[in-house]
Amino acid sequence: MKNQYIVKKDTTLLKYLYEILDLPKKKIKQYLTHGCIYVNQTQTTKYDYPLKKNMTITIQQNTKDFIFPILYEDRELIVVEKPSGLLTVASLKEKENTLYYMLSNYVKKKDKNAKIFIVHRLDKDTSGIIVFAKNQKMKEQLQKKWDQYAKVREYKAIVEGIPKKEQARLVHYLKETTTHLVYTSKTGKKAITSYQVEKTKKNYSLLRIFIETGRKNQIRVQLAEIGNPIVGDHKYNKTTTAKRLFLHATRLKLFHPTIGKVLTFTSPLPKEFEVLMR
């Protein structure tokens, strides 16, 4: 399986990979060391390999490693961290460059008959914790009682401006247009999002967010509705210039129905969040 990137500026290889991949530098160095990185189809392990604009970088997974962090794995579940900019599942335009496709390849390297199943999704531009099932029964169990089994769903977001209230519980009803734009209405699907302000800097606020429902684009729409759209949300924040969506699924407490225990998964904030709020 391959992932390809077109270099957009003159730089060096390790520096550029660190900028485009939402991964620790240690992990990126491992891929270089293991010969997984190709520049214009030439394999290289050099951290300071010079890059020129329009060169092609290919990440070839030739080990049993999965390129993104795996937080938990057993016979029935696999929990991973999704980077911003990657689809969870295939679309009409993109079939292979998806988390589902990459993860399917990973489990099939261990067992050619292995499968994974979608339990829930994250928007393409949202990063953080996501859960997949390894069999149909587990998928159906989790989906049927997701709001009950997902005990805590915590996100972090950087929004424009400073909210009028330091903390609040937002309740809206959401509908979707034929062009897939979600909006608030007097009727529709109920969405509940709570937030508290953790830090402010000039015209930005870092929010700690908890959701009680899992509606499409819920957090993005509700925060935009109160006048504090998420930085980098080009769908619901037309004035933003940021390259990524500053929304990250940072903590999940999930009841595992087979082992009968609540498991807690955490994901650190991507470096872009720290830079913006520094």
* Residues annotated catalytic, as ranges: 123
Extract long-range pairs of 48-51: CB within 8 Å, 24+ residues apart: 48/12, 48/13, 48/14, 49/12, 49/13, 50/10, 50/12, 50/13, 51/7, 51/10, 51/11, 51/12, 51/13, 51/16
The letter for the amino acid at 228 is N
CA 101 from centre of chain: 15
SS3 84: coil
Q: Name residues whose C-beta falls within 8 Å of residue 197's C-beta, 6 or more positions apart in sequence.
A: 162, 163, 166, 167, 205, 206, 207
Residue 166 in tokens? 């330091």
Extract long-range pairs of 32-38: CB within 8 Å, 24+ residues apart: 34/62, 34/63, 34/65, 35/62, 36/60, 36/61, 36/62, 36/63, 37/13
- What are the helix (H) ranges across 124-204? 136-144, 146-149
**Radius of gyration, alpha carbons of the chain:** 20
Q: How far, in Å, are 78, 86, 121, 133, 197 from residue 118 at the CA level?
A: 11, 15, 7, 7, 32
Please state, in angstroms and rounded to a whole number, the distance separating the CA atoms of residues 187 and 177. Answer: 14
